[in-house]
Amino acid sequence: MKKTLELYKKEFESSSGLTPQFKNFSMTFKREFKALLKELGAVEININKGHFYLSGFFKLKDERIYYFSLSDVRIFKGSMLIRTATDFKDYTGGSNNDINFNEDIEENLKTFLSQNG
């Protein structure tokens, strides 16, 4: 997630449309986050790009499902919301949890998954 974090720490240009900067960030995030999730045992991953935000679901080998959301990167910095879900359409799911997204996202996600499983 090194490249993702480098891009995330920069100030994002605001626009009513998709900017090249956010397009690059979202593609990098998707590639690196999918790789991380696969390392952690994800067997199904769905990532959606919104207007300056990313969200989605993933399922682990043990059938646990999680929803995540990286809020508007122009405004909200530092954390990613994650919670348990019953399926890939469960947007209300379990309790909201924030994990630090500025540093050690890999370790923070591993810790969250080990404590919420």
Segments making up each domain of the chain, as ranges: 2-115
Tens of pLDDT along 5-48? 999 999 999 999 999 999 999 999 999 999 999 999 999 999 99
What confidence score (pLDDT) does residue 101 get? Answer: 87
pTM of the model: 0.92
CA-wise closest residue to 68 among 43, 51, 93 = 93
d(CA 103, CA 97): 17
For the chain, the first-to-last Cα distance in angstroms comes to 23
56-101 pLDDT, tens digit per residue, is: 999 999 999 999 999 999 998 889 999 999 999 998 888 999 999 8
Angle between helices 20-39 and 105-115 in degrees, nearest 10: 50
* Length of the chain as a residue count: 117
